[in-house]
Amino acid sequence: MGASFMAESFVTVVMGGADIFLGTAPAAAILGVIKAVLTG
């Protein structure tokens, strides 16, 4: 659980950047949708 969470968090921040409103939050939303579709 912990390692998986850290990996997902790292990927979200790298994709979105440091700005929480314009980068990280939208990236988290997009990655969440992708994960939901892929995991069914």
Q: Rounded to whole angstroms, how far apart are CA atoms 37 and 20?
A: 24
Q: Would the pTM of this model clear 0.85, i.e. be above it?
A: no
E strand or H helix that includes residue 38: helix 25-39
Mean pLDDT of residues grouped by 10 in the chain (40 residues)? 79 77 83 89
Kindly list the domain boundaries of the chain, sorted by start residue. Answer: 2-39
Angle at 20 between CA 36 and CA 8, to 5 degrees: 40
pLDDT for the residue numbered 37 = 92
